[in-house]
């Protein structure tokens, strides 16, 4: 198992992971042009976070990708996790730890985390809290 920065050549394998998750939600249809644009943006700039997990065969089986942007209401920047998943046991936690370490090297980022639009299992929330992320508010979603 290897966790490493994502590269442009990982696109097809990460796209496969994303599509596997999106099929669970019939309200969401993939927009492949947007997916490719966002992947290229996240991988091509050090302002954003993009790491993948490879299994022992070199197949990408997980990723954490986060977009850094200007804070709309305050000074400094924020960073939102857009995708976080891994099928290899324990590596999702490692990805989140890498993200947290990366955040500590970016003093311009004042707010970072995620607001999922899907149900998250209690073990995942326990991990997130154990790593120091705190819950503020919640997501209220209406699919149309």
For residue range 28-50, list pLDDT tens digits in order.
778 899 999 999 999 999 999 99
Predicted local distance difference test score (pLDDT) of residue 36: 95
- pTM surpassing 0.75? yes
Measured CA to CA, the distance from residue 84 to residue 75 in angstroms comes to 26
Query: 26: which DSSP letter?
Result: T
Taking all residues of the chain, what is their mean pLDDT, rounded to a whole number? 88
> So what's the pLDDT on residue 117?
66
**Residues 51 and 57 sit within 8 Å (Cβ to Cβ):** no
Going by pLDDT thresholds of 50, 70 and 90, the confidence category of residue 81 is: very high
Residue 128 sits at the vertex; the CA angle it makes with 59 and 6, to the nearest 5 degrees, is: 30
pLDDT tens across 99-122, in order?
999 999 999 999 898 877 667 778
Residue 21 has pLDDT above 90, yes or no: no
The span from the CA of 99 to the CA of 93, in Å, is: 10
Q: How far apart are CA 95 and CA 133, in angstroms?
A: 14
């Amino acid at each position: 198992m290897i966790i490493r920065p994502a590269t442009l050549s990982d696109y097809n394998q990460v796209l496969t992971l994303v599509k596997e998750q999106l099929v669970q939600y019939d309200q969401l249809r993939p927009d492949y042009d947007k997916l490719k644009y966002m992947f290229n943006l996240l991988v091509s700039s050090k302002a954003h976070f993009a790491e993948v997990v490879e299994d022992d065969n070199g197949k990408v089986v997980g990723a954490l990708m986060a977009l850094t942007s200007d804070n709309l209401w305050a000074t400094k920047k924020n960073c939102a996790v857009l995708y976080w998943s891994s099928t290899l046991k324990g590596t999702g936690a490692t990805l989140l730890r890498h993200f947290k370490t990366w955040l500590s090297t970016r003093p311009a980022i004042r707010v970072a985390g995620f607001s999922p639009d899907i149900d998250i299992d209690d073990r995942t929330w326990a991990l997130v809290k154990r790593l120091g992320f705190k819950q503020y508010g919640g997501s209220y979603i209406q699919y149309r």
